[in-house]
Amino acid sequence: MWLRGASAGFELTIGSVSHSGGPVPLRVERMPALGRTLRLIEPDEGERAPDAVLVARATAGDRAALAAIFHRYAAVVFHLTARLLRDRIEAEDVLQETFEIVLDRLGGLRDPSALRPWILQIAVRQARHRFRRRKLLRALGFGRSAREPDAALELCASENASPEQRAELALLDHSLLQLADEDRLAWMLRHVEGLDLEDVAHACSASLATVKRRIQRADSHVRTRVALDGRDHET
Amino acid sequence: MRREPIPLPVRDVLVNELPVRTVERIFDDAMSRRAARRRARVRTGVALGLAAAAVLASFVIGREIGRREIAPVVTAHAPLPAVIATGASARRVRFDDGSWLEAAPRSRVEIEEDAAGTRLSLARGGVELEVEPRSARRIVVETALARVIVVGTRFSVVRGHDDVRVTVVHGLVRVQSPWIEDGVAMLSAGEDLVVRRALPEPPPTPTVENTSDREPRPRPERLDVDALFREADDLQRAGRPRDAIAPLERILAARPRSSDAALAAFTLGRLYDDVIGDRELAVRAFERSRSIGLPSGLDVEARARLERLASARSPEDPVAP
């Protein structure tokens, strides 16, 4: 529910953040004065507004629109990067960094309707920075700390996953670790996150042919070790 | 164990929700980090701005200092200013014969020109002059305490609260003042003289405030000596060196033990040596100037000339040490 009212000095925006199964908090935002007339805004406007509208409003300085964008993509970015990095704390950092970049560069987005692939591309780029940093630290003799990964695939399984599926997820996680970073990244974006091939190519900043080759190479490795339901005919 | 395939995409069997509280926290953190970064950018901008301002200021100051050397110049065909009053920076004025004067910062110099030459009245501050040796211009610097007469030189005159300092860089100047011994002093390269007013009050001398008089009122005997030196200079420049001997001899006769006499004898020596070509008279004149007492710069020159002249004389007629 979104309710906006303009009073003497400022405008109040009262909005809700919808999230499947989560609570519905209210946000009160101090906004630039737009006038004295009170008006009701269509309920759920913030949730239903297309990306292009939110981008236009956020670019004009609407903090509520910024918040709406963040809430729309926070979970996607967080889980994507957590599963790529196998680390929830690092994923939180990446989410924060990603949205700082988004906030800074939103005005330069040429096609506002392409917000989702753009955000995913930024998030993947940040995750790849982390991969490179880990490699460098390993090369310098500073390996990862003794902390166990808290976002391995089997640990991310939903309540509905059966024990057998959890076992397969553990196998999948193990086999993905044996892949090169770029191959694993492409395969995970395609088969774990379910992105279109074009979105995978965009997120990996690579050509379509390249990501297809990477996915195929990873697929032939994974399918010999893990039972997967279905085959990707596009690749 | 029975294997159960994982559906594709795998995310269908994974947790995909994020607690709203976590989302809120990360959003707030991102916003505050962004604000902090902006503040840091502003601070960096301010620091860079200050640094740029400092660089600009040093550039301007450097240029201002550089201007001391290329300060506005009065060229040969431009009229001389009547008054030079400087502020924070010095100002240089070039005369048409190549001589120049530079008024120090916060100085005031009044310039008067007539047929007799150029008279500079230093009301405050300091002035440095370089006078072309071959120039026919006669330059006199007047202060409340002393009058500095240029013989052909580079020197400075700085007026303090109750004194006047005359410093000679090269060449020779004559300083006249009732506040110095004998009323006159010859200064050569590297020498300086501070003239201070002493009690009891001496008779008044020409001052800057008295600039309405075209000529100051020097004491009669000083005027005679000046006039005689000037006459000798004029006759030399006019190509009549033998006629210049008489006024110099008159100085020697009138003030035989004074510094004026030493300078007159030295000038006579140069006249005999360089122009007339009479070695005997040149030796006699140089020896006399040294016996009276020459400033160190001139004494070195007199001694060198005597040694040169002695080498051309017979061995039984040695030069006095």
Min mean pLDDT across A12-21, B4-13, B109-118 is at A12-21
pLDDT-derived band at B141 (thresholds 50, 70, 90) equals: confident
Can you tell me the distance from the alpha carbon of A23 to that of B281, in angstroms, rounded to the nearest whole number? 123
Residue A111 corresponds to which amino acid? D
Choose from A98-112, B58-72, B130-144 the range with maximum mean pLDDT: A98-112
Q: B198 pLDDT exceeds 90?
A: no
SS (H, E, C) A95-126: HHHHHHHHHHHHHHCCCHHHHHHHHHHHHHHH
User: pLDDT confidence of A8, banded at 50, 70, 90?
Assistant: very low
Would you state the pLDDT for residue B211?
39
**In the predicted model, what is the mean pLDDT of residues A62-78?**
90
Cα–Cα distance for residue pair B3/B26, rounded to 1 Å = 39
Cα(B219)–Cα(B35) distance, rounded to whole angstroms?
A: 83
| B11–A contact, CB cutoff 8 A | yes
Residues A187-197: tens digit of each pLDDT: 999 999 999 99
What per-residue confidence (pLDDT) applies to A143?
A: 64
Return the higher-pLDDT residue of B206 and B179: B179
Structure tokens at B253: 């006769």
pLDDT for A110 beyond 60? yes
Q: Within 10 A of A78 (CB to CB), how many other CB atoms are there?
A: 25
Q: Please identify which residue in the block is written with the tokens 């939110």.
A: A54
Residue B129 banded pLDDT, cuts 50, 70, 90? confident
Name the burial class of residue A135, with classes exposed (0-12), middle (13-18) and buried (19+) by CB atoms within 10 angstroms of its CB.
exposed
Q: Is B27's Cβ below 8 Å from some Cβ in A?
A: yes
SS3 A71: helix
CA dihedral A189, A195, A199, A202 (to 10 degrees): -10
Chain B residues with CB under 8 Å of A106 CB are: none
- pLDDT band per the 50, 70, 90 thresholds, residue A183: very high
A6 pLDDT higher than 50 = no
State the DSSP string of B199-210.
SSP------GGG
In the predicted model, is pLDDT for residue A122 greater than 70? yes
Task: Give residue A21's region: left, alpha or beta (phi > 0; psi -120 to 50).
Answer: left
User: Which neighbouring-strand residues pair with A31?
Assistant: A11
pLDDT attached to residue B80: 65
Task: Give yes or no for a contact between A151 and A83, defined as CB atoms under 8 angstroms apart.
Answer: yes
Q: pLDDT-based confidence at A234, cuts 50/70/90?
A: low
How many whole angstroms separate alpha carbon A214 and alpha carbon A205? 13
Of residues A73 and A36, more confidence is placed in A73
Torsion A140-A142-A143-A144 (CA) sign: negative
pLDDT reading at B301 higher than 60: yes
What's the CA gap between B104 and B158, in Å, rounded?
Answer: 9
Of the listed ranges A206-215, B13-22, B112-121, the least confidently predicted one is: B112-121
Q: What is the mean pLDDT of residues B245-271?
A: 85
Q: Which long-range CB contacts under 8 A does A69-72 form with residues at least 24 apart?
A: A69/A102, A69/A115, A70/A99, A70/B23, A70/B27, A70/B30, A71/A17, A71/A19, A71/B20, A71/B23, A71/B27
Mean pLDDT of chain A, nearest integer: 78
What pLDDT does B137 receive?
67
- The predicted model scores a pTM of 0.46
**Least trusted range by pLDDT, from A16-20, A86-90, B154-158:** A16-20
> Which of B1, B4, B6 is the mutation pick for testing A, counting most A CBs within 10 A?
B6
User: Which range, of A220-224, B8-12, B147-151, B246-250, averages the lowest pLDDT?
Assistant: B147-151
Is B9 in contact with A78 (Cβ distance < 8 A)?
no
Predicted confidence band of residue A42 (pLDDT cuts 50, 70, 90): very low
* SS3 (DSSP) at B305: helix
Beta-carbon count within 10 A of B59 CB: 10
Exposed, middle or buried: residue B95 (CB in 10 Å: 0-12, 13-18, 19+)? buried
pLDDT recorded at residue B46 = 92
Pairwise CA distance, residues A53 & A4, whole Å: 17
Handedness of CA B206, B207, B213, B215 (dihedral sign): positive
Interface of A with B in 59-88 (CB under 8 A): 67, 70-71, 74-75, 78-79, 83
Does the pLDDT at position A199 exceed 50? yes
Q: Which residue has the higher pLDDT, A34 or B106?
A: B106
| Backbone conformation region of residue B216, classed left if phi is above 0, alpha if psi is from -120 to 50, else beta | beta
d(C-alpha A71, C-alpha B30), whole Å: 13
Is residue B23 within 8 angstroms of chain A, CB to CB? yes
Query: And the tokens for B55?
Result: 């660089």
On the question of a cis peptide bond just before residue B321, with omega within 30 degrees of 0, the verdict is no
Alpha-carbon span B59 to A128, nearest angstrom: 47
- Does residue B222 register a pLDDT over 60? no
Residue A79 has what pLDDT? 93
In angstroms, the CA A189 to CA A77 distance is 12
Measured at the alpha carbon of residue B121, what is the angle toward residues B117 and B122, in degrees to the nearest 5? 140
Task: Identify the residue among A47, A80, A95 best suited for mutation to test binding to B, counting B beta carbons within 10 A and taking the highest.
Answer: A95
Mean pLDDT for A209-220 is 94
Q: Where are the beta strands (DSSP E) in chain A?
A: 3-6, 11-16, 26-31, 228-229
- With 50 as the cut, is the pLDDT of residue A103 above it? yes
Between the CA of residue B78 and those of B73, B135, B237, what are the distances in Å? 9, 18, 26
Closest partner residue to B16 (CB to CB) among A23, A75, A165 is A75
pLDDT in tens, B50-104: 999 999 998 888 776 665 544 444 444 445 667 888 887 888 888 777 778 888 8
Percent residues over pLDDT 70 in chain B: 80
Backbone angles phi, psi at B147, to 5 degrees: -120, 130
Contacts of B24 in chain A (CB under 8 A): 17, 25
Give the pairing of strands A228-229 and B192-196.
unpaired
> Pairing state of beta strands B117-130 and B139-142?
parallel
Confidence (pLDDT) at A215: 94
Does A224 touch chain B if contact means CB atoms closer than 8 Å?
no
Type of residue numbered B184: V
- Residue A39 or residue A102, greater confidence: A102
pLDDT-derived band at B47 (thresholds 50, 70, 90) equals very high
pLDDT bin (cut points 50, 70, 90) of residue B136 is low
A128: phi then psi, degrees, rounded to nearest 5: -65, -35
End-to-end CA distance of chain A: 42
